[in-house]
Structure 1
Amino acid sequence: MKVMVLLKATRETEAGKMPGEALIGAMMRYNEDLAKAGVLVAAEGLHPSARGARIRFSGEDRTVVEGPFGDPSSLVAGFWIFEVGSLQEAVDWVRRCPNPMEGEAEVELRPILGADDFGEALTAELREREERLRAGEGRPAT
């Protein structure tokens, strides 16, 4: 199963404060351990919400709202994607993580939906199209 591990933002991350060398080194070692174990699919930090945008949908209308986006505890500062056998395995890995912030930090774990989770709504034709997309068909050459 894939699990998205969401690092919640803080006032410091929203202010653009970057981690120091010691924390970057500790996180690099942690990410290397994840990779060696075959758990790490992706890991990225995010710029503060002031550099982002949201698009609100209402029927056919689209409204673009530029950041910042309010309460940092409701925002995401970074993420990992793990490939694990269970949610408990993902929890165990996160418990090994160095504290990603100076002081308090919160990490949320959310299983990622797979094709089977959509049931009959994901027809054989749609499943085939999804598999082609995941295989990279239709992407321009770089």
Structure 2
Amino acid sequence: MKYMLIFRADDTALASMGQTDFGKMIETVGKFNDELIRAGVLLAAEGLAEPDDGVVVDYSAEPPIVTDGPYGETKELFNGFYILNVASKEEAVEWAKRSPITGPGFKAEIRRVTSIDEMPQDNEWIKKERAWREATGQL
């Protein structure tokens, strides 16, 4: 099963991270990533650029409203993610608990990634997506 570990940090956590030596942080996260790779569970991992470089598309109006970051109402920002292929939610939780980026203001949300196999297989759009995934080697 695939699980996404979504890492969030509040302003306090981001400030404390800013005081950490970047080289040391890369080494620490690199060692964790190496553990995930050696265990054979890592499918993807990415960090995200600063929020002031992003935008929000709000669909509550027509046409949708695009707002530049940073986002004043956000108390926690999504800063990066891992996608793991593990046997259970409990295993995903155990990996998240081993994350080297911890402390007050840091959180990880764990969500199962649904599979195309869970969708109605007789639906024309699911058939088209399955064909595309097969053609691009993603299935």
Q: Same fold (TM over 0.5)?
A: yes
2:59 alignment partner, SS class: strand
Taking a change above 3 Å as real, the CA distance of residues 46 and 8 of structure 1, as seen in their structure-2 partners, is: same
2:64 alignment partner, SS class: strand
Taking a change above 3 Å as real, the CA distance of residues 27 and 59 of structure 1, as seen in their structure-2 partners, is: same
Query: More deviation in 85-94 or 66-75?
Result: 66-75
Taking a change above 3 Å as real, the CA distance of residues 57 and 114 of structure 1, as seen in their structure-2 partners, is: same
Once the two structures are superposed, residues 18-70 of structure 1 have per-residue CA deviations (whole angstroms, 9 ceiling, x without a partner) of 85222221110110111121111111111221110011114752211111113
Unaligned ranges ≥5, structure 1: 138-142
Matched residues in 1 for 2:49 and 2:20: separation?
13
2:111 alignment partner, SS class: strand
The 8 Å contact of residues 9 and 74 in structure 1, kept in 2 or not, is answered as: yes
2:27 alignment partner, SS class: helix
1:109 is aligned to 110
Percent identity reads: 32
1:61 alignment partner, SS class: coil
1:22 is aligned to 24
Taking a change above 3 Å as real, the CA distance of residues 57 and 64 of structure 1, as seen in their structure-2 partners, is: same
2:125 is aligned to 126
1:7 is aligned to 7
- The aligned runs of 1:61-80 (5 Å cut-off) are 61-71=63-73, 73-80=75-82
1:140 is aligned to none
Matched residues in 2 for 1:43 and 1:130: separation?
24
TM-score by length of structure 1 reads: 0.78
The 8 Å contact of residues 55 and 63 in structure 1, kept in 2 or not, is answered as: yes
The 8 Å contact of residues 116 and 130 in structure 2, kept in 1 or not, is answered as: no
Matched residues in 2 for 1:130 and 1:56: separation?
26
| Aligned residues between the structures | 133
